[in-house]
Structure 1
Amino acid sequence: MELTEYVHAVILGVVQGIAEFLPISSSGHLVIADALLREYSDSSAPTESVTMGIALHFGTLLSILVVYRDDLIKLLTDKRLMTLIVIATIPVGLVGVLLKDYVDEAFGSPLLAGCALMVTAAFLLIGRRLQTSGRQLSDMTIGTASLIGIFQAIAIIPGISRSGSTIAAGMATGLNREHAARFSFLIAIPAIGGASVVQMKDLFTGEAALPASPWPLILGTMVAFIVGLAALRLLIRLVVADRLHLFAYYCIGAGCLTIVWQLLK
């Protein structure tokens, strides 16, 4: 087993753990990081295979389960909130199943990811401008849940941040910042879990190959989990402090650099 595979696993785990929660798009950064590793690495092995993608997402899913464990326990007796989560999950489920081939193709385009980062920046800035005094999750309507769900479906495009777009949509529709973030990550659980199931289908059908060794996958999962815990807790503090929009400027810079890099190749 080449050392570079372990190095790649660590790099992708760090990228996934940070970008899954901070509003800078984990999928977009994984596409860009994967392209950079392929271009400047001596290894010809794929750096972000289907199995690695599943492993990385599983690591960040564990982070959400740990941080929001109290909310999840309460959720078991809150049928209304469970219904709203289901409603918000339907759009991304439909897009993931019906447009899977187009989504898979998008994951091979760093240029698209760079352009989509600019969209993320726009969502963050507009969401902050439109935010109101704020309602709680107990005041959320079916319409609000549906709109947030549509933004989550849009974020299936690599480069558009799932957390950024859904939190911005929540704030724009009247949720206070903390509750918008809470709902964003509650609906992330079925979304990330469902995406992993769809990806696993490729393994069972033979469209994707199993890795020769499981150790890089295990390493990537552990790194994504540990980094994800820190990133998610940081995000919650930034949301409460109304600093989420600052990531828009990072997205603009990263998006511009990626676009220039791709156009000059």
Structure 2
Amino acid sequence: MDILQGIILGIIQGLTEFLPISSSGHLVLFQQIFGLKEGVATFDIAVHLATLIAVVAVFRKDIIEIIKNPFSKLTLLIVVGTIPTLAIAFALKNIIEDLLHSGASLGIEFIVTGLILWFAESIKTKNKGEKETTMADAVLIGIAQGIAIMPAISRSGLTIAGALFRGLNREFAARFSFLLSIPIILAAAADEGLDLIKDKASVQIEMMPLFLGMVAAAISGYFAIKFMLKILAKGNLRSFSYYVFVLGGLVVLDQLFFHIYF
């Protein structure tokens, strides 16, 4: 991996982690396009952790409040939402790893993400905020997040859609979705890190592309969160669905007929 590829992949990770178009799907796609094999797992962990900097920067007040009040309702909602996600991820780990390596399901999953975003805009919310959100809501949003471990199913897209379906207002739906990403990103990084320890050959990667990729992921992630909050407040999620429909269609065409990258 050279420096330019590291920066490009970092920007892609930062943007797609928080925009509802699937970060893992884009990373797999661009790694295929760049023909990258060495150090990919190490780079993925690094840029995922870098996106946490963006979440902390934007939601630092919420995070400080959670630390000060570990038994607050918001903290409990995040814990309850995280449990089903971890359970699903553990149960499907081997299947997901195979799909990530092969990219076989990317095209269809991008299209499914588009359908989810399209449907989410037709949901009439009940304007539930933090006080009105129940533990049952958190469980169902957590299940949605668990389903989104599929390579090209958007985590942010599915959790926000799940939150809107449960009647959360758009502001809290976005806020809860982003805060819910923190334990999952940490858990995924820890799991991938343990796998790397077992396979030391995969750790090899040049430091400059890694460092610049992390910086790019953190900066682009920060602006992606800010942009997404504005979109949810005033805009339309369907604008993202057009993009993933086209991207998914192109990937499916390549997988079925051209075989340039897949």
Pick the TM interval, shorter chain. Answer: over 0.9
Choose 65-74 or 202-211, whichever is displaced more: 202-211
Rounded Cα–Cα distance in structure 1 between residues aligned with 2:47 and 2:121: 30
Contact 2:26 2:152 in 1 (8 A): yes
Contact 1:122 1:248 in 2 (8 A): yes
- Superposition pairs of residues 109-124 of structure 1, within 5 angstroms: 109-124=102-117
Rounded Cα–Cα distance in structure 2 between residues aligned with 1:199 and 1:31: 15
Residue by residue, what CA displacement relative to the aligned partner does 1:105-137 show, whole Å, maximum 9, x if unpaired?
111233411111111111112222123241101
Gaps of 5+ in 1: 39-44
Verify: 1:51 aligned to 2:32, yes or no: no
Verify: 1:85 aligned to 2:82, yes or no: no
- Normalising to structure 2: TM-score of the pair? 0.93
Rounded Cα–Cα distance in structure 2 between residues aligned with 1:26 and 1:47: 19
Residue type of the alignment partner of 1:63: A
Verify: 1:232 aligned to 2:205, yes or no: no
Rounded Cα–Cα distance in structure 1 between residues aligned with 2:31 and 2:205: 19
Deviation of 1:209 (Å): 2.3
Counterpart of 2:158 in structure 1 is: 165
Counterpart of 1:42 in structure 2 is: none
- Sequence identity, in percent? 38
Rounded Cα–Cα distance in structure 1 between residues aligned with 2:126 and 2:76: 25
Deviation of 1:207 (Å): 5.8
- Superposition pairs of residues 32-47 of structure 1, within 5 angstroms: 32-38=29-35, 46=37
Deviation of 1:15 (Å): 0.9
Counterpart of 2:188 in structure 1 is: 195
Flag as ranges the 4+ runs of structure 1 deviating above 3 A: none
- Normalising to structure 1: TM-score of the pair? 0.92
CA RMSD of aligned residues (A): 1.5
Rounded Cα–Cα distance in structure 1 between residues aligned with 2:65 and 2:134: 19
Gaps of 5+ in 2: none
Counterpart of 2:6 in structure 1 is: 9
Verify: 1:20 aligned to 2:17, yes or no: yes
Residue type of the alignment partner of 1:141: T
Counterpart of 1:138 in structure 2 is: 131
Residue type of the alignment partner of 1:91: P
Choose 233-242 or 105-114, whichever is displaced more: 105-114
Rounded Cα–Cα distance in structure 2 between residues aligned with 1:134 and 1:192: 28
Deviation of 1:179 (Å): 0.3
Contact 2:42 2:203 in 1 (8 A): yes
Counterpart of 1:258 in structure 2 is: 251
Rounded Cα–Cα distance in structure 2 between residues aligned with 1:149 and 1:61: 19
Rounded Cα–Cα distance in structure 2 between residues aligned with 1:191 and 1:226: 20
Contact 1:5 1:47 in 2 (8 A): no
Distance 1:208 1:154, change over 3 A: farther
Counterpart of 1:71 in structure 2 is: 62
